[in-house]
């Protein structure tokens, strides 16, 4: 049976953090999957939806359903964007002809760690990363998708990796999309609190399954001259054992 | 629409976000709350089932609100109590102030009630010459400081013992004989005891209105609720119409859940039910008992299928405690009676023209509130709905244009590539010019507080062109 | 104050119109999953919970021991007035009271501001939370709240497993009372820096004299 997955790459990952998607491809290929990337994809519509512009978000959602309609399994290296499709498309498309498609497609979308553990049933992808790492549990992944142990299980199986637990690991990093610019002072204060907790672990790296948290944390950590390095889970998993 | 609440919000939020002492005080408080609640939940064999049960009880009550309110009213009247229905804050104020005036009331003791804050009752009573004493310690402290409550459950959470001692030294020096918490509590007790024994009227809120028993349920730890409803000649209980619950037996779940979510306690020390004035043959108790049922926008929220669930709220305060925004900006920044997530959700719906739409946007949508809410109100979803409603209402032409452009971009991968290229060029140009973070930087809302992202030379889709096919 | 309240009709009309869509609400029966663990030994649990919520419990075997326990409590009290619920058991115990003290009976009115301790019965004791089920029928409303010390006398037969059982008693016997309440420990506050301080406005000390069932 051919093992194929379709890759859903969040718009900002495509533009600003391509390495996250590249590493996702590497990991998936390493465990024997063929990766398909529908090149017509753009943005899932979350920025408009979260800003209250549902009419602007709806066509993006419908477009997404068309592009990924034929895919059996869709994998995304972001909890937040996965949750947009899984948890919010049905609400957004309620009372439209696309509602049923939204519900059924939602059942086929997985965040990367969720896919690896629950679908591929692989908890060791054979990676090697000889560093201390702490894990930030991102909001939508934790509370909307119910992802708790999956990333930790994967991290524990990385050779050489020393996992350090993060105080208040489930507290928000402060990003929140347009919130980060509309209410920058609050967002930054939350980020600063998070960065302080990360610093307290003295870990070399802070990892997450949400690239947007990592962009925010990188910005805060750099701005406040702290030293932990944000890195996406996929990029740790992509490091080959030597 | 007024922009003053927004400007005030931004000003206060900016101030608090920079106040690291405030941040530490709140964090300390919340840390002990977290520990107590985690322990408290272990007393339940199934906390999630308890949440579901509470949610169902409240949903049922709200679905048949009319029936249960009438049932409640009938029972209270049977015991000789009065029930007054108030459509607006003004109606409720007038009724209570009129009552105080006609009965020659000079001294009033209050036990904690957020609804009296909502209708600004104390000011109205003081205006007609009555002395009004808040008797919940936290409320009393903020009253002495002329501040509104900082938190719906713990009104003085933002203050340290040193600040409280300072306030007491200034306001009630004769009662002071030490500055440690037990001595501060004793000072307040002495002062308020005189008020309790001289007051002619006691005003309380209600945590629940029990329909089948016709009783108001009031939870307090200090016992001030008991004294307020026992000693004065007149007892007035005021609360929102949504506080109704169908059955006395529902309290077997609601009391422990409220206490656990609120403070981590197994049950509040005094879980009290009041059904009327002193009955024939009873030793003591008020001669008059009045219940004021306040609408003040609630029936309007009820009319919205989408928003209705927010009326399930039991005001436990859990969503405030777990909210990372609340912890940074504190309770006063909101400028509302109800703070935190429930306040951001409720206020624009209870007071549609008061200009509080921005509160729904002042959230990272982290969902911590939704996971904490013991009656399963989907608070993050309500925030999203409020955002949608706000944008539909105000138009916000600037944002609308931006999101039209966003849609136009996202509807074609060619346009998406072009716009992506332009944005990346923008970021790297600002960096190259050395203006990143300065007033000239178009990315300033981001770069004012954070470094801008590193711009890669290649997008993923460019990489895919060369490496996509294996 | 009585008389017409036209707002009543308007509010009810709006409420009825708002809920006319009759969105089905899940019946409470839908979630009957147990929420609390069973309480195999209510008495043991009651004692444990009281220890945790700072209620003093004195277990006695018979009425002699109870009277003796009452004497010991009386001796520990500061000088001043006492208040008793007017029942035969307290009439007999009160005969031991030092004649220097003023004694008030619930039949003669409520306790006063300076009452040092109140003595009442209870309708039941709740194992789940270490609570006392009280009401205005237990010597009045003030009897359980105004004095710095509240002493309650009851028997182990009155111990019920949980709040639900206590509310059933309330539902059967106490709906005519103007006040019913569960009292779970001494008066307390944590409003200053979340530090627990006992003895806010109500009793600093709550004592239960619990006599074994005969
Ligand atoms: S919304 Fe929920 S968590 Fe917040 S105060 Fe109300 S009941 Fe408590």
Please report, for the domain that includes residue B162, its CATH number.
3.40.50.10420
Tell me: the pLDDT tens digits for B362-408?
Answer: 999 999 999 999 999 999 999 999 999 999 887 666 788 889 899 99
H/E segment holding residue B381: helix B379-394
Same-domain check for residues B216 and B87:
yes
**Any domain includes B14:** no
Edge-to-edge strands of the sheet including A74-76?
A: A34-36, A4-7, A74-76, A109-111
* pLDDT of residue B55 exceeding 70: yes
Torsions phi, psi of B337, nearest 5?
-65, -45
* pLDDT of residue B88 exceeding 70: yes
Please report, for the domain that includes residue C63, its CATH number.
3.40.50.10420
Same-domain check for residues B227 and B370:
no
CB C171 within 8 A of CB B249: yes
Tell me: the pLDDT tens digits for A121-172?
Answer: 999 999 999 999 999 999 999 999 999 999 999 999 999 999 999 999 999 9
Same-domain check for residues B220 and B350:
no
* pLDDT of residue B5 exceeding 70: yes
Predicted local confidence at residue B436, as pLDDT = 79
Task: Please give the angle made by the CA atoms of B81, B87 and B88, to the nearest 5 degrees.
Answer: 115
Q: How many residues does chain C have?
A: 214
**Any domain includes C20:** no
**Any domain includes C72:** yes
**Any domain includes B220:** yes
Predicted local confidence at residue A145, as pLDDT = 96
Report helix angle B47-63 to B65-78, nearest 10. Answer: 80
Predicted local confidence at residue C1, as pLDDT = 46
* pLDDT of residue B121 exceeding 80: yes
CB B416 within 8 A of CB B410: yes
Task: Please give the angle made by the CA atoms of A230, B409 and A219, to the nearest 5 degrees.
Answer: 20
CB C20 within 8 A of CB B304: no
Show the domains of chain A with their CATH numbers. 4-119 (3.40.50), 132-237 (3.40.50)
pLDDT tier, B432 (very low <50, low <70, confident <90, very high otherwise): confident
Same-domain check for residues B181 and B211:
yes
CA distance B195 to B202: 10
| Ligand 1 atom showing the smallest separation from residue B340 Cα | 4
Q: From first to last of the 242 residues of chain A, give the pLDDT tens digit.
A: 559 999 999 999 999 999 999 999 999 999 999 999 999 999 999 999 999 999 999 999 999 999 999 999 999 999 999 999 999 999 999 999 999 999 999 999 999 999 999 999 999 999 999 999 999 999 999 999 999 999 999 999 999 999 999 999 999 999 999 999 999 999 999 999 999 999 999 999 999 999 999 999 999 999 999 999 999 999 999 998 66
Q: Residue of the nearest CA to atom 6 in ligand 1?
A: B313
Same-domain check for residues B371 and B413:
no
Residues of B in contact with A144 (CB under 8 A): 367
Would the CB atoms of A176 and B13 count as touching at under 8 Å? Answer: no
ipTM: 0.96
* Cross-chain CB nearest to B279 (options C5, C28, C176): C176
C-alpha distances in angstroms, B121 versus A5, B95, B133, B140, B283? 62, 11, 12, 15, 31
**Any domain includes B224:** yes
**Any domain includes C142:** yes
**Which of the listed residues B263, B296, B329 is the one where a domain comes to its end?**
B296
CA distance B127 to B108: 13
Same-domain check for residues B323 and B286:
no
**Any domain includes C58:** yes
Mutation test of ligand 1: which of B314, B350, B378 has the most ligand atoms closer than 8 Å to its C-beta? B314
Tell me: the pLDDT tens digits for C69-95?
Answer: 999 999 999 999 999 999 999 999 998
- Kindly state if the Cβ of B318 falls inside 6 Å of ligand 1: yes
Six-digit token string for C176: 């005519």
**Strand pairing category for B215-220 and B131-134:** unpaired
- Kindly state if the Cβ of B373 falls inside 6 Å of ligand 1: yes
**Any domain includes B33:** no
- Ranking A104-113, B400-409, B435-444, C37-46 by mean pLDDT, the lowest is B435-444
Distance from the Cα of B329 to chain A's closest Cα (Å) equals: 7
CA nearest neighbour of C115 among C92, C91, C70, C85: C85
**Any domain includes B70:** yes
Q: Is C114 in CB contact (< 8 Å) with chain B?
A: no
CA distance B266 to B255: 9
Same-domain check for residues B236 and B350:
no
Tell me: the pLDDT tens digits for B14-28?
Answer: 999 999 999 999 999
CB A137 within 8 A of CB A169: yes
Same-domain check for residues B366 and B417:
no
Structural domain that includes position C53: 40-211
> How confident is the prediction for chain B on average, in pLDDT?
95
Å from CA of B61 to ligand 1 middle = 17
Would the CB atoms of C178 and B270 count as touching at under 8 Å? Answer: no
**Which of the listed residues B264, B296, B328 is the one where a domain comes to its end?**
B296
**Any domain includes B28:** no
* pLDDT of residue C2 exceeding 50: no
Domain count of the fold of chain B: 3
Same-domain check for residues B325 and B263:
no
CB B158 within 8 A of CB B15: no
pLDDT tier, B29 (very low <50, low <70, confident <90, very high otherwise): very high
Predicted local confidence at residue C25, as pLDDT = 53
Same-domain check for residues B67 and B151:
yes
Dihedral angle of Cα C196, B222, C206, B272, to the nearest 10 degrees = -130
Give helix then strand counts, H and E, for chain B.
23, 10
**Any domain includes C75:** yes
Three-state secondary structure of chain C: CCCCCHHHHHHHHHHHHHHCCCCCCCCHHHCCCCCCCCCCCHHHHHHHHHHHHCEEEEEECCHHHHHHHHHHHHHHCCCCCEEECCCHHHHHHHCCCCCCCCEEEHHHCCCCCCCCEEEEECCEEECCCCEEEEECCCCCCHHHCCCCEEEEEEEHHHEECCHHHHHHHHHHHCCCCCEEEEECCCCEECCCCCCCEECCCCCCEEEEEEECCC
Residues of B in contact with A34 (CB under 8 A): 470
Other beta carbons less than 10 A from residue B113's beta carbon: 25
* pLDDT of residue B104 exceeding 90: yes
CA distance B181 to B194: 21
* pLDDT of residue B1 exceeding 50: no
* pLDDT of residue C27 exceeding 60: no
Q: Nearest residue on chain B to A176, judged by CA atoms?
A: B364
Would the CB atoms of C167 and B249 count as touching at under 8 Å? Answer: yes
pTM of the model: 0.95
Same-domain check for residues B428 and B338:
no
Structural domain that includes position B372: 318-394
**Any domain includes C47:** yes
**Any domain includes B434:** yes
* Interface contacts (B, C; CB < 8 Å): 282
Tell me: the pLDDT tens digits for B337-362?
Answer: 999 999 999 999 999 989 999 999 99
Å from CA of B439 to ligand 1 middle = 40
CB C188 within 8 A of CB B269: yes
Would the CB atoms of C164 and B62 count as touching at under 8 Å? Answer: no
Predicted local confidence at residue A149, as pLDDT = 97
- Kindly state if the Cβ of B205 falls inside 6 Å of ligand 1: no
Torsions phi, psi of B220, nearest 5?
-140, 155
End-to-end alpha carbon distance in chain B:
58
- Kindly state if the Cβ of B291 falls inside 6 Å of ligand 1: no
Same-domain check for residues B177 and B252:
yes
**Any domain includes C34:** no
Domain count of the fold of chain C: 1
pLDDT tier, C98 (very low <50, low <70, confident <90, very high otherwise): confident
CA distance B362 to B341: 10
* A202: exposed, middle or buried (Cβ count in 10 Å: 0-12, 13-18, 19+): exposed
**Any domain includes B121:** yes
| Ligand 1 atom showing the smallest separation from residue B152 Cα | 5
Tell me: the pLDDT tens digits for C142-200?
Answer: 999 999 999 999 999 999 999 999 999 999 999 999 999 999 999 999 999 999 999 89
């Amino acid at each position: 049976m051919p093992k194929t997955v379709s890759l859903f790459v969040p718009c900002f990952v495509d533009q600003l953090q391509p390495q996250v998607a590249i590493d996702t491809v590497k990991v998936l290929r390493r465990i024997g999957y063929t990766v398909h990337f529908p090149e017509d994809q753009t943005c899932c519509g979350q920025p408009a939806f979260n800003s209250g512009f549902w009419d602007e978000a709806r066509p993006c959602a419908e477009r997404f359903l068309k592009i990924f309609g034929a895919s059996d399994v869709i994998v995304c290296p972001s909890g937040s964007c996965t949750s947009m499709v899984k948890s919010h498309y049905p609400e957004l498309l309620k009372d439209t002809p696309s509602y049923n498609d939204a519900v059924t497609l939602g059942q086929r979308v997985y965040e990367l760690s969720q896919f690896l553990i629950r679908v591929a049933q692989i908890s060791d992808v054979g990676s090697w990363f000889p560093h201390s790492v702490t894990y930030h549990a991102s909001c939508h992944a934790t509370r909307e998708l119910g992802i708790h142990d999956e990333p930790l299980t994967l991290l524990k199986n990385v050779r050489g990796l020393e996992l350090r637990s993060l105080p208040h690991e489930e507290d928000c990093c402060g990003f929140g999309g347009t919130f980060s610019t509309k209410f920058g002072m609050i967002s930054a204060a939350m980020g600063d609190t998070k960065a302080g907790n990360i610093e307290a672990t003295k870990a070399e790296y802070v990892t997450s399954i949400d690239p947007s948290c990592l962009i925010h944390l990188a910005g805060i950590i750099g701005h406040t001259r702290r030293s932990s390095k944000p890195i996406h889970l996929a990029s740790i998993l992509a490091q080959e054992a030597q | 629409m007024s922009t003053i609440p927004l400007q005030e919000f931004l000003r206060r939020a900016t101030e608090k976000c920079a106040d690291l002492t405030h941040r530490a005080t709140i964090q300390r408080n919340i840390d002990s709350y977290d520990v107590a609640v985690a322990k408290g939940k272990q007393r339940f064999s199934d906390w999630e089932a308890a949440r579901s049960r509470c949610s169902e009880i409240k949903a049922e009550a709200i679905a048949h609100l009319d029936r249960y309110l009438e049932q409640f009213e009938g029972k209270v009247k049977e015991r000789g109590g009065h029930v007054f229905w108030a459509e607006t804050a003004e109606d409720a104020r007038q009724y209570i102030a009129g009552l105080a005036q006609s009965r020659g009331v000079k001294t009033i003791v209050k036990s904690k009630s957020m609804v009296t804050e909502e209708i600004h009752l104390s000011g109205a009573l003081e205006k007609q010459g009555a002395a009004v004493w808040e008797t919940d310690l936290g409320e009393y402290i903020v009253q002495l400081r002329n501040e509104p409550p900082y938190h719906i459950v713990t009104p003085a959470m933002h203050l340290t013992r040193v600040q409280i001692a300072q306030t007491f030294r200034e306001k009630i020096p004769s009662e002071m004989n030490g500055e440690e918490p037990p001595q501060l509590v004793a000072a307040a007790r002495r002062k308020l005891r005189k008020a309790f024994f001289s007051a002619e009227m006691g005003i309380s809120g209600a945590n629940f209105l029990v329909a089948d028993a016709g009783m108001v349920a009031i939870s307090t730890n200090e016992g001030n609720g008991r004294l307020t409803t026992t000693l004065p000649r007149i007892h007035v209980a005021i609360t929102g119409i949504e506080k109704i619950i169908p059955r006395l037996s529902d309290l077997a779940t609601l009391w422990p859940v409220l206490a656990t979510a609120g403070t981590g306690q197994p049950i509040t020390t005094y879980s009290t039910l009041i059904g009327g004035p002193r009955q024939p043959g009873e030793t003591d108790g008020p001669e008059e008992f009045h219940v004021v049922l306040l609408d003040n926008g609630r029936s309007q929220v009820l009319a919205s299928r989408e928003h209705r669930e927010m009326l399930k709220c039991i005001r436990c305060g859990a969503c405030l405690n777990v909210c990372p925004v609340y912890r940074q900006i504190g309770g006063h920044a909101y400028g509302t009676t109800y703070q935190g997530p429930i306040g951001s959700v409720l206020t624009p719906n209870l007071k549609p023209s008061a200009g509080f739409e921005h509160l729904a946007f002042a959230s990272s949508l982290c969902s911590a509130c939704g996971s904490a809410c013991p009656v399963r109100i989907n608070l993050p979803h309500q925030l999203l709905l409020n955002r949608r409603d706000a944008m539909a209402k105000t138009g916000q032409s600037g944002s609308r244009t931006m999101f039209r452009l966003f849609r136009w971009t996202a509807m074609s991968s060619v346009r998406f590539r072009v716009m992506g290229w332009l944005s990346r060029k923008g970021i790297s140009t600002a960096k190259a010019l050395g203006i990143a973070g300065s007033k000239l930087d178009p990315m300033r809302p981001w770069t004012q507080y954070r470094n801008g992202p590193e711009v890669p030379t290649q997008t993923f889709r460019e990489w895919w062109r060369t490496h996509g096919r294996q | 104050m009585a008389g017409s309240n036209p707002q009543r009709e308007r509010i009810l009309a709006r409420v009825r119109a708002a809920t006319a869509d009759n969105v089905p609400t899940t019946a409470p029966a839908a979630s009957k999953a147990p929420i609390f663990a069973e309480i195999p030994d209510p008495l043991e649990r009651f004692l444990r919970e009281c220890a945790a919520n700072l209620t003093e419990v004195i277990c006695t075997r018979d009425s002699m021991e109870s009277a003796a326990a009452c004497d010991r409590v009386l001796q520990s009290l500061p000088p001043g007035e006492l208040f008793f619920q007017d029942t035969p058991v307290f009439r007999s115990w009160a005969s031991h009271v030092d004649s220097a003290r003023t004694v008030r009976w619930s039949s003669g009115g409520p306790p006063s501001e300076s009452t040092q301790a109140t003595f009442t019965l209870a309708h039941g004791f709740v194992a789940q939370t270490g609570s006392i089920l009280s009401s205005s029928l237990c010597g009045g409303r003030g009897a359980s709240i105004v004095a710095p010390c509240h002493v309650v006398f009851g028997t182990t037969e009155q111990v019920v497993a949980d709040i639900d059982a206590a509310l059933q008693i309330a539902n059967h016997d106490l709906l005519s009372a103007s006040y019913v309440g569960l009292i779970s420990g001494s008066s307390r506050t944590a409003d200053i820096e979340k530090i627990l301080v006992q003895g806010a406005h109500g009793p600093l000390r709550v004592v239960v004299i619990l006599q074994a069932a005969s």
